[in-house]
Amino acid sequence: MKRVVKLLLKIFLIVIALIVLAVFAFLKIAEHREANYYNYTQTAGAIETEYAALGGMNVSYLEFNAINDVIGKYAVWYPSELVDKEEKYPVVIFANGTGSTSATYKSFMEHLSSWGFIAIGNDDKNTRTGASLESTLQFMMQVNEDKSSIFYHKIDLDNIGIGGHSQGGVAVFNMVTNQEHGFMVKALYAASATSSYHTSSMADQWEYDVTKITIPTFLTAGTGHWDAGTATTKEQANDEEDGVVQGICPLWSLQENYASLPDTIDKVMARKKDTDHGDSYKQFDGYMIAWFMYYLQGDQEAGRAFTKGGELSNNSLYQDVQTNMN
C-alpha cells in the first residue's frame, strides 16, 4: 500500500512539474511574440510588408520623470546613432488607450523608432483631452534646447507626428484642435478612436470635433467584435437582448469622422479584417509607419500606398477603405 501511495505521489509531483514547465514555456512564448509582434503580423501588400518589418536602425531608450504625477514619466525611444550624428530626427508622440501606460506600447514604440523616428510616450492613463500630448511636446522642445541633453538640436520640430489608440485616438483629435502647440503637428494617426456615441454619453472632456483638423489624418479600426460591435448607426442604443452592441470604433464612426474631416486635407480610413480593438494599433503598424515615413521623412514610395487605387485600397486584408489622395 505504501508503495502505491509513494508511486501516486511521485506521479502527482511529476504532473505538477510538467504543468509548471508548460505554463512557464507558454509565458515565455507569449513574451517573445509580444516583443517581436511585427514578425507575426499578417501583411499582403509590398509597402505594408516592408514597413511592418523591423527598420534598419538600432534603438536606445531613456526615460525622464515628469513634474505632473498624472503623466508620470516621459518614455523616449530613439535611433542609437543619434548620439554621434549631427542630424535632426522626426518625432512621433503616442497617446495611450484607457488605463494603459508607455510600457503597454514598448515593443510598438521600439519598432517605430527603428525606422528613424524619436518615439515618445508617457504614463497618462486618461489621455482624452490631449493635455499629456501637449506636455510631452513641450518637454521635447525643452530638451532640444538643453545643451546637456543628447537631444540638443537633434529633434526636428518641423516634422512632428502624433498617434493614439482608443482613448488615445480621442487625444490626438483634441491635441491638434484644442492644445497650445497643436499647430506644430504635421500628421495624425488614430487607431480605433472611441466613437462619438460613447464620448457624448461619457462627456467629461471626451468629446471632439474633427471638422477643425487641418493636417493629414489616417483613421483605422478592426472588424472584430469589440471594435465593430453590431450597431450600424449612432442612434442605436446598446441592447443586449436585441443583439445591439455599440462597438468602440464601429464602421459608422469611421465613416462619420472621415466625412467630417475637411476635404482640403489628405484623409484616409480603413478597417483590417479579423482584427479587434486590443491589437488594432499593432495590426496597422506597417501602414502607420508608411504614413509617417511619407509625411515626416518625405518617403514618396510609402505615400503611394494611400492614393486612390493604391496598395491599401487593393489589399485583401482590408475593407471599407476610403481616401481622397491622388
Q: Looking at residue 280, what is its pLDDT?
A: 87
- Identify the weakest region by mean pLDDT among 35-44, 172-181, 221-230, 291-300: 35-44
Instruction: Note whether 90 and 296 are within 8 A (CB).
Output: yes
Residues 257-286 pLDDT 10s: 999 999 999 999 999 999 989 888 889 999
Q: How far is 40 from 34, CA to CA, in rounded Å?
A: 9
Residues in the chain: 326
* Section 25-37 average pLDDT: 61
* Section 195-213 average pLDDT: 90
**Three-state secondary-structure class, residue 157:** strand
Residues 178-194 pLDDT 10s: 999 999 999 999 999 99
* Section 131-150 average pLDDT: 97
Q: How far is 25 from 21, CA to CA, in rounded Å?
A: 6
Residue 248: which pLDDT band, with cuts at 50, 70 and 90?
Answer: very high
Three-point CA angle 46, 52, 56, nearest 5°: 100
Residue 297 has pLDDT above 80, yes or no: yes
Residues 6 or more apart whose CB falls under 8 angstroms from that of 163 comprise 92, 93, 94, 95, 172, 188, 189, 190, 191, 281, 288, 292
Q: Looking at residue 40, what is its pLDDT?
A: 79
Q: How far is 119 from 167, CA to CA, in rounded Å?
A: 19
Q: How far is 311 from 251, CA to CA, in rounded Å?
A: 21
Instruction: Note whether 125 and 99 are within 8 A (CB).
Output: yes
Q: Looking at residue 34, what is its pLDDT?
A: 66
Task: Give the residues across from 222 on adjacent strands.
Answer: 272
Q: Which residue has the higher pLDDT, 169 or 243?
A: 169
Cell of residue 175, nine digits? 491635441
Residue 11: which pLDDT band, with cuts at 50, 70 and 90?
Answer: confident
- Class of 36-323 in CATH: alpha beta
Burial class (CB in 10 A: 0-12, 13-18, 19+), 125: middle
Burial class (CB in 10 A: 0-12, 13-18, 19+), 153: middle
Q: How far is 187 from 164, CA to CA, in rounded Å?
A: 12
Q: Looking at residue 24, what is its pLDDT?
A: 61
Q: Looking at residue 278, what is its pLDDT?
A: 87
Residue 204: which pLDDT band, with cuts at 50, 70 and 90?
Answer: confident
**H helix intervals, 76-125:** 106-113
The domain locations on the chain are 36-323
* Section 300-325 average pLDDT: 97
Phi/psi at 111 (5° precision): -60, -45
b/e per residue 36-54 (b: at least 16 CB within 10 A) = ebbeebebebebbebbbbe
Q: Looking at residue 18, what is its pLDDT?
A: 64
Q: How far is 283 from 230, CA to CA, in rounded Å?
A: 21
Mean pLDDT taken over the chain: 91
Residue 298 has pLDDT above 80, yes or no: yes
Residue 7 has pLDDT above 80, yes or no: no
Cell 504532473, residue?
15
Task: Give the residues across from 61 on adjacent strands.
Answer: 77
Q: Which residue has the higher pLDDT, 226 or 5?
A: 226
Q: How far is 206 from 295, CA to CA, in rounded Å?
A: 28
Q: Looking at residue 289, what is its pLDDT?
A: 97
Residue 30: which pLDDT band, with cuts at 50, 70 and 90?
Answer: low
| CA-CA-CA-CA torsion sign (265, 287, 180, 88) | negative
* Section 237-244 average pLDDT: 76
Q: Looking at residue 23, what is its pLDDT?
A: 62
Cell of residue 203, nine digits? 462627456
Q: How far is 308 from 243, CA to CA, in rounded Å?
A: 36
Residue 27: which pLDDT band, with cuts at 50, 70 and 90?
Answer: low
